[in-house]
A and B are shown apart, each in its own frame.
Chain A
Amino acid sequence: RKEVEQDPGPFNVPEGATVAFNCTYSNSASQSFFWYRQDCRKEPKLLMSVYSSGNEDGRFTAQLNRASQYISLLIRDSKLSDSATYLCATSNTGKLIFGQGTTLQVKP
């Protein structure tokens, strides 16, 4: 079993839709959590850190559920430019463990 698991998708949604991704992790000692975004044939870029209390950045909301060991990413009012692969990552000792990524396709 992978340490960090994500549904690979793809998630195909129309513009303006709300879409949510979940990511589960198996290491209960994980201390930090992140969402990275990766465009096709590009490098991953940090989208947002995930805090215990949850956090929001514009149309993006990240949540952490330590009891159930999952993190989530909610995207409201999807834009065509949101089409990408979203990678969740956990950290315990300073190094990141990434999930396989969830692909989002936003259609006009």
Chain B
Amino acid sequence: DAGVIQSPRHEVTEMGQEVTLRCKPISGHDYLFWYRQTMMRGLELLIYFNNNVPIDDSGMPEDRFSAKMPNASFSTLKIQPSEPRDSAVYFCASSHDTELAGGPETQYFGPGTRLLVL
């Protein structure tokens, strides 16, 4: 089975540009999570969706960040305009809310997108 797919794997952009990160969760999973990881702050949850509906976006740093999940197999995280402090690895993860699957906390992470904003 395919795991969580993220694209692009690497992105280098200039300050002020729009950046769009993409994620395809594991088929059948009903939770999708966006995380950001930096050396200074560690792994932080930005937003998560359940059945395509945003449940908690309290981790989204500011209005420059937005996330959408138009259907069960696709989500985007957009940064507009990007700033150098947005440089980080952005992970998407998905999970399935059943006891057999271990609950929503048993998350499967994608390989991440390494973003560098110059």
Question: Are both chains from one complex?
Answer: yes
Interface residues, chain A, CB within 8 Å of chain B?
32, 34, 42-46, 49, 87, 89, 91, 93-101
Q: Number of B interface residues, CB 8 Å?
A: 23
Are A89 and B42 interface neighbours, CB within 8 A?
A: no
Contact between B109 and A95 (Cβ–Cβ < 8 Å)? no
- Chain B residues with Cβ under 8 A from A99's Cβ? 42
Min CB distance A4 to B, Å, is 9
Minimal Cβ-Cβ distance residue in A for B4: A43
CB distance from B5 to the nearest CB of A (A): 12
Contact A94 B109 (CB under 8 A): no
CA distance A99 to B37 in the complex (A): 11
- B8 interfacial by beta-carbon distance below 8 Å: no
Most buried by A among B55, B102, B107, B110: B107
B100-118 interface mask toward A, CB cutoff 8 Å, 1 = contact, 0 = none?
A: 0011111111111000000
Complex Cα gap A58–B98 (Å): 25
Judge whether B105 and A89 touch: CB under 8 Å: yes
CB distance B109 to A45 under 8 Å?
yes
Chain A residues within 8 Å of B48, by CB: 94-95
Q: Which of B44, B91, B103 contacts A43 (CB under 8 A)?
A: B91
Which B residues are CB-close (under 8 A) to A42? Answer: 111
- In the bound assembly, the distance between CA atoms of A101 and B42 in angstroms comes to 8
Verify B42–A32 contact, CB threshold 8 A: no
Residue pair A96, B102 in contact (C-beta under 8 Å): no
A43→B109 contact, CB < 8 A: yes
